[in-house]
Each structure stands twice: as C-alpha cells, then as structure tokens.
Amino acid sequence: MSARGAPASSPHALARVVGVHGRHSVIETADGTRMLAHGRGKKSEVIVGDHVRWQVSGDEGVIESFEPRTSLLKRQDEWRSKNFAANIDLLLIMVATDPPYSESQLARALIAAEDGRIAVKIVLNKIDLPEAAAARERLAPYRRMGYDVLEVAVKTDPAGTRAVFDPLLEGKTTLVLGPSGMGKSTLVNLLVPHADAQVGEISKALKSGKHTTTTTTWYWLDDDRRSALIDSPGFQEFGIHHIKSAELGSLMLDYGMYLGDCKFANCTHRHEPSCGVRAAIARGDISPSRERIYEELMGELERAASRH
C-alpha cells in the first residue's frame, strides 16, 4: 500500500526503474517500495531512470508502458545499441590518473552527452597519484572548450570529495559513467549511505569474483529521495554510430567554435579551402589529439553509413 492511501497496485500506477537484470527490472513505487517487475513481450526495453506504468501480477509487477523520456544517453556500435539511462539531469564522466584512460573514449562519451542534450562534467579521480600532472595536461583541451573538470581523490580525500559533490548533486539525478577502474563505485559508496547494503540486495547473485560493477543501479543520496546517483559498469568501447557524420563537428565543442568560419556550409574540415577548423588547427587552437579523434570518428561514421 502506498503512503498516501491509494493502493500501490492500482492498475497503471507510476514507478521508477532502479535496476535492470536481463529480462527483469527492479522498480520503485511511489512509497519507495522496491520489487521485481517484467515487461510484456519483447518490446518493453526499459532502462534505469525510466518512469513506467505498472500493475501487480502475483508477487511481481508487470510493466505496461513507459512515459516519454526527458533525456536519453545511448551508445551504438556496428552490432547493437545500448541505452545507459533515461531522465538524467547530469552526467559525470569519470577518468582517473591511473590506470590510464583512452582520450578517444572520453571524447565519444562527451559527444553522446551533447547529442542527448545532457549537462556533463568531467571528473578526474585519483589526483593523489604521481600521474596526476600528466593526466591534468591531457585534459587541457577539454577545459579550454568549456568543460568543467572536477579534480578529486575519492579514496584518499573523502572530505574534499564530499565538498565538491554534495552541493553539485543536490536535487538532481546524476549518472556516473567511465571506463573500468576509475573509481565510480568508490564515489557511490562514499556518497550513498548504506550503498553496500543496496548493492548486496539487488545484485548479489550476479556478482562475479572481481569487484567490477556489472549492472546500472540507482541510489538515493538522501532520505527524501530528491537526489540520486546512478552507478554504471565501466565501458570499453563507446560506439557513436547513431551520430550523423555531418553533425560530428558541432558535437565536438572545440570544432564547433570555428564552424562559422568555414566557407562551405557542408565543410567536412578535412580538405576544403577556407576552412575555419583547419585554420584553428594550424594556429594550435585545436589540439592534435582532437584532430586525430575527429578523423578517427569521421572514418568510422562514414564506414557505418556506407553499410546501410
């Protein structure tokens, strides 16, 4: 029963998806109760953060439909498309000083966030390690193009980390994304009271020997259930095949700054004359690593388009 007196099981009540395990989802009803639910048929591909309409069936819930999403973060490669989470307000892309991360993967996640119109910040974790200076330097182009880079040491400086995140996450739904081993779950465990208990409750059966995160999970940061943090499994390859090659330049913000200087509206910024982007590259205003990433992605997107 819900706290407001209406039966939580009334047909098509609203709930939120807080975990997905294969064909089953964990939904949280209006009064905070969590239960297993499954969709009808194969079409019901709900993801964490979805608002769903559901009803009781035995001791489980059945998801009847889901509400329109205000935001969607996805990736897509040659073979499949994967949605990370829906209805998030803020995306934190976490990288660390060590192990080293792939700049290309960072760039791809940023492009997906721009495409999904999701506010995004970069988190550089483990600044207690000697590799910090080099990692900071690699992120310089991203600071220059306007991204906030939050530097933390989640494990060795918990108080400093809290000072950064407590005000930032207040009242929002935030997804933490990044390659494996960057410290995403360490952050969740620091900020979320009893996170371990919740992890145990939902994914004990799925836990492998390694302590790597295997499912995307929703955590509340506060008892009022206003601020949420979503932990996600580390990604290795972030495909962006859902992006059109003609849009790539505007989704890479350093390229985007100079598009107005290109003579041709359909400039690909590779060999056209009077290209504002190439001029910026020549001046050193766009870094060589970003040019390499653009070339790599354009090649990928063109090959993908030619296959369809």
Ligand X SMILES: Nc1nc2c(ncn2[C@@H]2O[C@H](COP(=O)(O)OP(=O)(O)OP(=O)(O)O)[C@@H](O)[C@H]2O)c(=O)[nH]1
- Among 18, 37, 153, 240, indicate the residue that binds ligand X (CB under 6 A): 153
- Residue 184 is assigned to a ligand binding site: yes
Q: How far apart are CA 204 and CA 199, in angstroms?
A: 7
Considering the complex, state which of residue 125 and residue 173 has its C-beta at the smaller distance from ligand X.
125
- Among 78, 128, 247, 302, indicate the residue that binds ligand X (CB under 6 A): 128
Is position 189 an interface residue for Mg ion (rule: CB under 5 A)? no
Q: How far apart are CA 70 and CA 89, in angstroms?
A: 9
Helix (H, G, I), strand (E, B) or coil at 25: strand
The alpha-helical segments, DSSP class H, found in the chain are 103-115, 132-138, 140-144, 158-169, 184-191, 195-203, 245-251, 253-256, 276-283, 288-307
97 binds, among Zn ion, ligand X, Mg ion, none (CB under 5 to 8 A by kind): none
Is position 125 an interface residue for Mg ion (rule: CB under 5 A)? no
Is position 29 an interface residue for Mg ion (rule: CB under 5 A)? no
Least Å distance between CB 233 and Mg ion?
7
Least Å distance between CB 199 and Mg ion?
10
- Residue 213 is assigned to a ligand binding site: no
- Among 51, 184, 241, 269, indicate the residue that binds Zn ion (CB under 5 A): 269
- Among 189, 213, 216, 217, indicate the residue that binds Mg ion (CB under 5 A): 213
Least Å distance between CB 176 and Mg ion?
9
- Residue 182 is assigned to a ligand binding site: yes
The contacts found for 151-154 with CB under 8 angstroms, 24 or more apart, are 151/124, 151/127, 152/123, 152/124, 152/125, 152/127, 153/125, 153/126, 153/127, 153/128, 154/125, 154/126, 154/183, 154/186, 154/187, 154/190
Is position 290 an interface residue for Zn ion (rule: CB under 5 A)? no
Strands 60-66 and 34-39: parallel
Q: How far apart are CA 159 and CA 232, in angstroms?
A: 23
- Residue 306 is assigned to a ligand binding site: no
- Residue 262 is assigned to a ligand binding site: yes
Query: What amino acid occupies position 51?
Result: H
Considering the complex, state which of residue 35 and residue 298 has its C-beta at the smaller distance from Zn ion.
298
- Residue 257 is assigned to a ligand binding site: no
Neighbours of 109 (CB within 10 A): 25
158 binds, among Zn ion, ligand X, Mg ion, none (CB under 5 to 8 A by kind): none
Angle of helix 158-169 versus helix 184-191 axis, rounded to 10: 80
Alpha-carbon 172 to chain mean position: 14
**Which residues are bridge partners to 83 per DSSP?**
74
Is position 156 an interface residue for ligand X (rule: CB under 6 A)? yes
Residues that bind Mg ion (CB under 5 A): 184-185, 213
Binding site as annotated, residues for GTP: 125-128, 178-186
Chain positions contacting ligand X, by CB under 6 A: 125-126, 128-129, 153-156, 178, 180-186, 211-213, 233-234
